[in-house]
Amino acid sequence: MTGLGTIINTAAVIAAGLIGVGIRRGRASGEDLSDKKVIRQGLQDILMQACGAATIFIGGAGVLSKMLVIKDGQLETTGTMLLVLSLVIGSAVGEWMNIEQKMDLLGEKLKKAVKAENDNQFVEGFVNVSLIICVGAMAIVGSIQDGISGDHSLLATKAILDFVIVVVFATVYGAGVVFSAVPIFLYQGAITLAAAFLGSFVSAQIISDLSFVGSVLIFCVGVNIAFGKKFRVGNMLPALLVPVIYRIVSIPTF
């Protein structure tokens, strides 16, 4: 069934978010304990730093696995032009569109819709976790596989990893993390549908490049979580579109 992987992944994020919120509140997630501060500040800070460090290394490993190659017995780098063009052009377009502000506004609307106006971390949790679980390599590659062949195994594996990630982040950020299920459903679902219609035109190199650039964005999210907001990652999202154009016009990498 095409799209089953996204459904499984979305369900895992919702379940994990509710569990994490329940842990944060110290009781069942269904109880109204929004005013109770269970996790003391010191523990919350160290959890955020731990999550940030883990995210940095996940993103960094993804980048290095694509950039570093062994050629003639020597370690070399590849994809430098792709990386520079993707980030510069994509960030310029995203800044012009002000995508991050739109994500923040969506988070604010969701916060009002669920009557969580007093939750100061709702929007931050929604935006950060949405970026982490959406722009990684597994989200892109898994959705394309699901669309082309109906193979949802990679997204099912991602669902397990996301479950752990979302539980941890929900204990830190609270209810906003649960709603990261909305963008992941729309994002992965859209990629799956596009791949189903255009699968024969999606090359392995394009998939690899998308994973490469996505890992850079994951790294930037990790820096934001660990050290405070340094990158407007939402405005960098159009960088994911550049590799497709890059390969279509066949610009050689170095």
**Cβ atoms of 33 and 27 closer than 8 Å:** yes
What's the pLDDT at 201? 64
What's the pLDDT at 34? 46
Classify 74 as helix, strand or coil. Answer: strand
Closest CA to 21 of 1, 47, 39: 39
Separation CA 236–CA 101 (nearest Å): 12
Tell me the pTM: 0.75
**Cβ atoms of 30 and 180 closer than 8 Å:** no
Q: Which two tokens stand for residue 95?
A: 């800044």
Q: Has residue 10 got a pLDDT over 90?
A: yes
Q: Say how many CA atoms lie within 13 Å of 13 toward its Cβ.
A: 26
The string of pLDDT tens digits covering residues 17-55 is: 999 988 887 744 444 444 444 456 677 678 778 878 888
For residue 68, the cross-strand partners are 77
The ranges assigned to domains in the chain are: 4-248
Separation CA 42–CA 40 (nearest Å): 6
Closest CA to 143 of 131, 135, 58, 161: 135
Residue range 101-118: mean pLDDT, rounded: 84
Q: Has residue 146 got a pLDDT over 70?
A: yes
- Vertex 251: Cα angle to 77 and 187 (nearest 5): 85
Question: CB neighbours (10 Å) of residue 6?
Answer: 28
**Cβ atoms of 56 and 230 closer than 8 Å:** no
Question: For the chain, how long is the longest CA-to-CA vector?
Answer: 63
What's the pLDDT at 13? 95
Q: Which two tokens stand for residue 85?
A: 């063009």
Q: For tokens 């009557």, what's the residue?
A: 115
Residue range 224-230: mean pLDDT, rounded: 83
What's the pLDDT at 186? 93
The pairing of beta strand 74-77 with beta strand 68-71: antiparallel
Separation CA 33–CA 25 (nearest Å): 6
